[in-house]
Amino acid sequence: MVTNPIEKELTKPVVAPTPPKVATVAAATDVGTRNVAIKVENFSLFYGSFRAIADVQMDIREREITAIIGPSGCGKSTLLRSINRMNDLIPGVHTEGNIVLNTQSVYGDNTDTVLLRKRIGMVFQRPNPFPMSIFDNVAYGPKLHGMRDHKKLSEIVQRSLEQAALWDEVKDKMKQSGLSLSGGQQQRLCIARTIAVQPEVILMDEPASALDPISTLKVEDLMRELRASYTIVIVTHNMQQAARVSDMTAFMLGNTNLEDRSGRLVEYSPTSEIFTQPKDKRTEEYITGRFG
Amino acid sequence: MNARTTDRIATGVIWAFSVGIVGLLASFLLYLLVKGVSHISWHFLTAAPSITAGGGIGPELWNSFYLLLLTMVITIPLGLGAGVYMSEFAPANKVTEGIRLATETLASLPSIIVGLFGLLLFVQTFHFGFSVLAGALALTVFNLPIIERVTENSIRAVPQGLREGSLALGMTRWQSIRTVIIPAAIPGLITGIILTAGRIFGEAAALLFTAGQSSSSLNWGDISIWNATSPLALNRPAETLAVHIWKINSEGLVPDFRQIADGASAVLIVSVLIFNVAARYLGRQLYKRITAT
């Protein structure tokens, strides 16, 4: 770790206080070479007449972890929830611009949100296992999407739980309620539940903010494992977390003047760069802890 | 006065109120049971009322349960449907506000008014006569708004996270309601249904002029829904236990009308008690089965 050039960079007393250390090893090497999975095209979202996010433009590449950071109220969760159209549930929301998942337009006139959400899974801030058994929680998606064969379902459940690094802890109590697990286990159960429907993208909305530090590390390890097969977009409050797990980091900021508080994308760069040589003054101020 | 003293006084007052209320209820219950239980016998529970001393309450007891069952069969699907619509689908606008206001008004309607409405509409206009059907429909008017509100509230109380979790897996609205939201709302629904069931079982005013104040003697071998002597008949008058208590107390001619009223009251209270305990138990089992907790 100490031989990592980024680490050395950080030991120089350039910017005080010390920005979070970047520990992703595999990440930095292949950044920028993968295909684009999600294209956010000039996207704005309004709650009624209030523009919550304005003109966001970014390409999210497949099988990378993209972190969205920024202070509270900057619209980072709103942007994340726009990708699978979870914001549709809120009355009075409308959008401008578009988001494209591979070739599928997310905000097209004929977009089937049900099919879309099958392809874009989501893990929420607070673990939200369904009030049913551990097995049924994971089997839920495949079952309702038409899988009837119990043997195949069992295989999917086991594979998903293994991928979510939860199998060993729950394999002897599959019939117990998902709610009987600890918070960290519940969150991994929710990740398993998401993996079970085999999405292309997994959105994570501050997935570790309700967890203790050990559970947080487990979830982060898990994210790095999942990176091999899934495109992951994570919103986090925690800059160390973004630095630890992500390949790319997007920094968002709501304008502070009162006429326009819309959240905008300030800077979007490889994680190794944004935490060491931020291009924008505001990014630097945020990551060095001067505000937020 | 310092905070600690105030706290002690407040606690004392709250405690006294609680004890007072529980004491009142307990003594009331005890009074009913002590006065009534001695008159309860198998004969009393099964025999028809008689014009001489020694009549029973068999048909009335049956009628109470039968009307409760019929009312629930009509109201639960309607109330659940309306409640799900109002909580999950209805847009927030003037129309739904109007519906909500109407439901609330309907829920607080005095039951005698519901009874007179039933008399006009079901008994007279629809020519149902004093009948089980007219009674069940009047009780539906009385019960539906409450079941609707209970459903709406228990479904609203389901955490938004569950709803989102299910939709985020690519479920349709209906799939998510059916598989996650309704099961999660079951404890609230069961409590609501039990409470309304108790109300229906004890209801008299809405039934005086709809189900009527008399009951034909029943032939237990008959399962037709049209013969006047069949216990299942929908078109026969059906005095319930609560109506019987009211009637025998106010205009009973039999020499033992007091004892009959006492016994019937005890039976009514015990029935509601048994019903509540059983329904709670069943509700818990059902919730366990569904949720694996």
User: What is the per-residue pLDDT across B172-222, written as a single tens digit (0 to 9) for each?
Assistant: 999 999 999 998 888 888 888 888 888 888 888 888 888 888 777 777 777
More confident residue, B123 or B217: B123
Mode of pairing for the β-strands spanning A263-270 and A36-47: unpaired
> Is the CB of A176 inside 8 Å of chain B's CB atoms?
yes
Q: Does residue A6 register a pLDDT over 50?
A: no
B167/A89 Cβ within 8 A: yes
Q: Sorting pLDDT into bands at 50, 70 and 90, what band is A25?
A: very low
Q: Are A202 and A230 in contact (CB under 8 A)?
A: yes
Please list every residue in chain B whose beta carbon sits closer than 8 Å to the beta carbon of residue A84: 168
DSSP string over chain B: --HHHHHHHHHHHHHHHHHHHHHHHHHHHHHHHHHHHTT--HHHHHSPP-SSTT---HHHHHHHHHHHHHHHHHHHHHHHHHHHIIIII--SSHHHHHHHHHHHHHHTS-HHHHHHHHIIIIIIIT---S-HHHHHHHHHHHHHHHHHHHHHHHHHTS-HHHHHHHHTTT--HHHHIIIIIHHHHHHHHHHHHHHHHHHHHT--HHHHTTT-S-BPPP-TT---SSSTT-TT-SSS-B--HHHHHHHHHHH--STTHHHHHHHHHHHHHHHHHHHHHHHHHHHHHHHHHHH--
A128/B292 Cβ within 8 A: no
A128/B164 Cβ within 8 A: yes
Q: A131 vs chain B: nearest CA distance in angstroms?
A: 5
Q: Does residue A99 register a pLDDT over 70?
A: yes
Q: Which of B74, B35, B57, B115 is nearest to B242 (CA)?
A: B57
- ipTM higher than threshold 0.95: no
> Is the CB of B292 inside 8 Å of chain A's CB atoms?
yes
Residue B52's pLDDT is 75
A86/B168 Cβ within 8 A: yes
pLDDT in tens, B26-79: 999 999 899 888 888 888 888 777 777 777 788 888 889 999 999 999 999 999
Q: B181 vs chain A: nearest CA distance in angstroms?
A: 9
Q: Does residue A13 register a pLDDT over 60?
A: no
**Cα B102 from chain centre:** 21
Q: B160 vs chain A: nearest CA distance in angstroms?
A: 9
Please list every residue in chain A whose beta carbon sits closer than 8 Å to the beta carbon of residue B171: 114, 117, 144
Q: Model-level pTM greater than 0.90?
A: no
Please list every residue in chain A whose beta carbon sits closer than 8 Å to the beta carbon of residue B157: none
Q: Quickly tell me which residue has 């609205």 as its tokens.
A: B173
More confident residue, A47 or B254: A47
Q: A86 vs chain B: nearest CA distance in angstroms?
A: 7
Task: Find which of B162, B164, B166, B169 to mutate to test the A interface (most A CBs within 10 Å of its CB).
Answer: B169
> Is the CB of A92 inside 8 Å of chain B's CB atoms?
no
Q: Does residue A30 register a pLDDT over 60?
A: no
- The CA–CA distances, whole Å, from A124 to A59, A210, A251, B179, B209 equal 22, 10, 20, 19, 56
